[in-house]
Amino acid sequence: MTMPSFNEKISAQFQAFIDSQEKRFDGDCFQMDLHCHDRNSDVPDELIGRILRSRETWLDTDVLVDRLTQNGQKVFTITNHNNARSCYALQNAGHDVLVGAEFTCAVPQFNHVSVHVLTYGFSPSEERRLNSLRSNLMDFLSFSKERNLATVLAHPLFFYDPNNNSSVELIELFTLLFENFEVVNGQRDVRQALLMAKWLDTLTPEKIDILGKKHGINPGIFSERPYVKAMTGGSDCHMGMFAGTCGTRFHVPDLENRLRTASYSELALQALRMGNVAPFGSVVGGEKMTAAFLHFFCQLTMYLDDPGLLRLLLHKGTGADKMTAFIILNAIMELRRHKYTSRFLRTLHDALNGKKPGLMIRSITSKAYRGVLQELDKLADARRSDSARFVRQLEQSIPNVMDQLLEVLSKRVENKMKQAEKQHGDSASQWPSIKNIEAPVYLRTWFQSVSPSSNPDAKRLDVASWSDGLPFPALAASCVLGAKFTSARVQHANRAFLNEFARHAGAECPSDSILWISDTYYEKNGVGNSLRLFYDAALQYDLPIHFAVSSHRNYEAEQFSEFAAPFMFEVPFYRDQTLRFPNVLDLEKSFFDNSCTHIVVSTEGPMGLCALYLKMAYNVPAYFYLHTDWIEYAKQSLQFEPASIDRLRRMLRWFYSQFDGIFVLNSEHAEWLSGNDMAIPRQKIHITAHWCNPMFFPRPVDRQTVLPGCVNGPTLLYAGRLSKEKGVLDLPPVYNAIIESHPNARMIVVGSGPEQDVLKRDMPQAVFMDWVPKSVLANIYAACDILLFPSTFDTFGNAVLEALASGTPAIAYNCKGPRDIIIDGESGYLVENMEEMIHRIRLILDDEPLLHKLRLGARRRSIDFKKESIIRQMMHEMNISLPKIAKRTPPLDAHQRKSA
């Protein structure tokens, strides 16, 4: 039976908490959403929003009141930021209103920390005084107590803290200053609600007095009931979609009679002062907040005015803040200018408000996007229903819309690739911008048509023709993904603090767990081979690793998820590897469903960017497992020019530096990354290794069966991809030199690749075999005398380790991976050039005792690469503690016992 994940457990605990709160009062209750906003929240707390002169929402008051009424409310409050204009307007219109606002107050004891304080029951003159006291939270609360105003600490575990000064001491201070805490906030996750509820439940008068002495504060100074803490709830909804779906229940004994002489708002204020309140409803899932940000993005595109360049430049914000605001504003204006994208955002905005796409929209929408319209229909229907159905529909429709947009984008890019291939061929050297990585600084020139040039080096990608047909699906998908990213980032920005507070409060923290992502798994290369070994180890030792692979199908297995990539194509000059662009929402779901706390990625490109997305969205450490030397590949296979090599190095430096750690497979790579060229701090670089599949071990084999036609004479072996970067073009001169002195020597080549025909032409006496299963390869290793490894590209060399494990010595160039595997003269030889390689081969073939000695040394060296040690060290580098690794392997067979 599968154990529930951490997120599943806390969701169940939250529902149990809500059920217990519902049973607190037998009757005589009414409810109200104590925290919601409308268009009068027009001066946001965020500096970027103030620079842009953006509202937090353009939601009309009447629309919000209608939504609250639909959810059963008879009394209202609208807690806009630092003002109660909407409350006063509703009072003047004859509504029963509890006047309230959400004030932003600075905490002087903690530099630059500010909190939101929900305050109720004040007059316009008191509001002006409250605003004048916001620079000091304690002065603000003293005045509130003096005027008998009710205060609630909004979202207690989420506050503005740009310098990361938050600590447990801050929550202890809040415990002394407040008597009401908004435990259930519709825009915060269940974990924050549970942590705060648990903390409040642990408070006793003795504990509160101890905290008072620690902080030098008398608990009764700011509170009428310092030892009785109350919990409230509010939707914190800015868009009206979820207003009233959570809030506060007010218990008023003899409610029916009390209402004859007092209004709901008066009774609510009294109950709040006395602590006779309880939260109700649900809090945010990722989908609810994503919908809120999608709604807000739509509003920005529809309603945001140009704040003025001079105002932006003269604002007191930093240069970085102004540049960010400038970029955001221009992006919004471009979205508004692009008619298809702006039309999509308006239609999406209507659907989120319960309005289906109209007849005109349907008539002008191309067939490719009919599926998107169907999802918007479903959203609109669900929006007009209850909130639970709407949330369920959001969970389905947001990924579906993303999938469909990516599918359209994928087909169009694939067509562009085919057109480009017809124009430029399948050679890297013939493609624009391949040999020379550069782009013009003046962006307008990107979209000008490319004129023919007599200078071949002047070729560049014709962005104007490439971009035709791509902007809408790309921009629309970016809006959806941007909303999803912002939602996750806001929810998890204080992850480290929550873990610290959970430990202090005696609450459970999520167990360390890794999401390991890759777009290579089944391929016959080092990355795929290593991942398959790691997956087997994860199952064998019950390691906290879940693998997520972007591939050609949807498949689920234990600790393994495979996602069909909606966007994939072959790179014409590297057809052995399909470039896959996954729907990052699939990876995000896998990350969340498995309650992961760390990320490891094995490939650059799309999956590497996905890993950085998850790292920044969920505020978790991410590690890169470096398999490929792209600098060497660009030199050998793509023939990059020196200037382009330098630019590639800078791009890689930026990319690798974004990760919290980098696992490398050889000491040379570690030195390069930490050297002047890459300048990555040495403490972020961790040297690791692969281990060998246990099926590789010395064994007696029938050479005639394993290698037909190679019964007599020495046998040399190459196993791997047949491509330039693997150094295979060195094999013909080496082998031809060997057969001059050893005519009966045979060269066995296992693998395939673009240089296969060349090798067959230049080594007609060699035996060529395609890729073979590991079980067959193990026999081939055991049957051969020497492995040749001519690559200067490989960062490790799985073939070298497999050969050593089979008792076959290896000869390789003295660089990178082989240097850290082969002990020169004991398990093989490290050579500097082809001449030395030829010399060492002849030396071994002419000395049977030497070959026997190297065979024994090879096997001994392979045993140094112990699976358990490698795994434990890797987990240690990621600060993941493991219990003693318990072996659950089957007994060794006879051959394995003999070799051991």
Provide the pLDDT for residue 451.
53
Provide the pLDDT for residue 899.
37
Provide the pLDDT for residue 527.
87
Q: For tokens 């109200």, what's the residue?
A: 32
Residue 418 pLDDT greater than 80, yes or no: no
Comparing 391-395, 752-756, 757-761, 886-890, which segment has the lowest mean pLDDT?
A: 886-890
Nearest 5 degrees, angle CA 234-CA 281-CA 480?
80
CA atoms of 391 and 687, how far apart (whole Å) = 45
Residues 6+ apart with CB under 8 A from 168: 500, 501, 504
Provide the pLDDT for residue 841.
96
Tell me if residue 294 falls in helix, strand or coil: helix
Residue 442 pLDDT greater than 80, yes or no: no
The sign of the dihedral angle between the CA atoms of 724, 725, 730, 732 is: negative
Provide the pLDDT for residue 455.
47
Residue 465 pLDDT greater than 60, yes or no: no
Nearest 5 degrees, angle CA 319-CA 321-CA 324?
110
Provide the pLDDT for residue 805.
96
Instruction: Tell which wins on pLDDT, 716 or 899.
Output: 716
Residue 2 pLDDT greater than 70, yes or no: no
Residue 90: alpha-carbon gap to chain centroid: 44
Residue 780: alpha-carbon gap to chain centroid: 42
Closest CA to 686 of 830, 884, 880: 880
Burial of 185: CB neighbours in 10 Å, binned 0-12, 13-18, 19+: buried
Residue 362 pLDDT greater than 70, yes or no: yes
DSSP secondary structure letters along 664-717: ESSHHHHHHHHSTTT---GGGEEE------TT-------HHHHSTT-SSS-EEE
**Number of Cβ within a 10 Å radius of residue 342:** 17
Provide the pLDDT for residue 725.
87
Residue 456 pLDDT greater than 60, yes or no: no
- Please write the tens of the pLDDT for every residue from 785-810: 999 999 988 899 999 999 999 999 99
Residue 126 pLDDT greater than 60, yes or no: yes
Q: Tokens in use for 661?
A: 């750690």
Q: How confident is the model at residue 572 (pLDDT cuts 50, 70, 90)?
A: low
Residue range 510-534: mean pLDDT, rounded? 89
Percent of the chain topping pLDDT 70: 91
Residue range 807-829: mean pLDDT, rounded? 95
Q: How confident is the model at residue 348 (pLDDT cuts 50, 70, 90)?
A: very high
Helices and strands (H, E) in the chain, number of each type: 37, 24
Comparing 194-203, 404-413, 619-628, 822-831, which segment has the lowest mean pLDDT?
A: 404-413
Q: For tokens 């970027």, what's the residue?
A: 48
B/e letters for 87-124, b = 16+ CB within 10 Å, e = fewer, are: bbebbeeebbbbbbbbbbbbbeebeebbbbbbbbbbee
Q: DSSP state, 428?
A: G
The sheet that has 277-281: what strands, in order across it? 29-32, 246-251, 277-281
Closest CA to 672 of 693, 692, 649, 697: 649
CA atoms of 716 and 730, how far apart (whole Å) = 14
Q: Tokens in use for 480?
A: 């959806």
Q: Return mean pLDDT, the chain.
A: 88
Tell me if residue 439 falls in helix, strand or coil: coil
Provide the pLDDT for residue 895.
32
Provide the pLDDT for residue 712.
80
Instruction: List phi, psi (to 5°) of 233.
Output: -145, 155
B/e letters for 536-566, b = 16+ CB within 10 Å, e = fewer, are: ebbeebebbbbbbbbbeeeeeeeebbbbbbb
Q: For tokens 């498995």, what's the residue?
A: 594
Contact present, 467 and 447 (Cβ < 8 Å):
yes
Comparing 36-50, 627-641, 642-656, which segment has the lowest mean pLDDT?
A: 627-641
- Please write the tens of the pLDDT for every residue from 60-96: 999 999 999 999 999 999 999 999 999 999 999 999 9
Rg (CA), the chain: 33
- SS3 of 322-366: HHHHHHHHHHHHHHHHCHHHHHHHHHHHHHHCCCCCCHHHHHHCC
Provide the pLDDT for residue 428.
47
Q: DSSP state, 447?
A: G
Residue 165 pLDDT greater than 90, yes or no: no
Q: Tokens in use for 602?
A: 């094995």
Contact present, 476 and 403 (Cβ < 8 Å):
no
Residue range 285-309: mean pLDDT, rounded? 89
Provide the pLDDT for residue 869.
92
Comparing 131-140, 563-572, 770-779, which segment has the lowest mean pLDDT?
A: 563-572
168-171 contacts, C-beta under 8 A, 24 or more apart: 168/500, 168/501, 168/504, 169/215, 170/107, 170/110, 170/113, 171/199, 171/501
Q: How many Å from the N-terminal Cα to the C-terminal Cα in the chain?
A: 37
- Please write the tens of the pLDDT for every residue from 427-439: 544 444 555 666 6
Closest CA to 184 of 244, 234, 242: 234
Residue 855 pLDDT greater than 50, yes or no: yes
> What is the value of pTM for the model shown?
0.90
Instruction: Tell which wins on pLDDT, 676 or 582.
Output: 676
DSSP secondary structure letters along 49-74: HHHHT--S----HHHHHHHHHHTT-S
Residue 507: alpha-carbon gap to chain centroid: 25
According to the per-residue pLDDT averaged within each range, which of 22-26, 109-113, 337-341, 596-600 is highest?
596-600
Comparing 31-35, 141-145, 520-524, 823-827, which segment has the lowest mean pLDDT?
A: 520-524
CA atoms of 636 and 639, how far apart (whole Å) = 6
Instruction: Tell which wins on pLDDT, 104 or 551.
Output: 104
Contact present, 78 and 237 (Cβ < 8 Å):
no
DSSP secondary structure letters along 844-860: HHT-HHHHHHHHHHHHH
669-677 contacts, C-beta under 8 A, 24 or more apart: 669/626, 669/629, 669/795, 669/816, 677/649, 677/653
- SS3 of 167-190: CHHHHHHHHHHCCEEEEEECCCCH
Residue range 208-215: mean pLDDT, rounded? 95
433 Ramachandran zone, left/alpha/beta (phi>0; psi -120 to 50): left
Provide the pLDDT for residue 457.
47
Provide the pLDDT for residue 458.
45
Provide the pLDDT for residue 199.
96
Q: How confident is the model at residue 890 (pLDDT cuts 50, 70, 90)?
A: very low
Please report which residue ranges of 514-572 form alpha helices under DSSP H. 526-541
Q: Tokens in use for 711?
A: 């019964």
Q: Tokens in use for 748?
A: 């066995």
Q: DSSP state, 763?
A: -
Residue range 597-625: mean pLDDT, rounded? 95
Instruction: List phi, psi (to 5°) of 708.
Output: -55, 135
Provide the pLDDT for residue 468.
58
Residues 6+ apart with CB under 8 A from 451: none
Q: Tokens in use for 565?
A: 């990539």
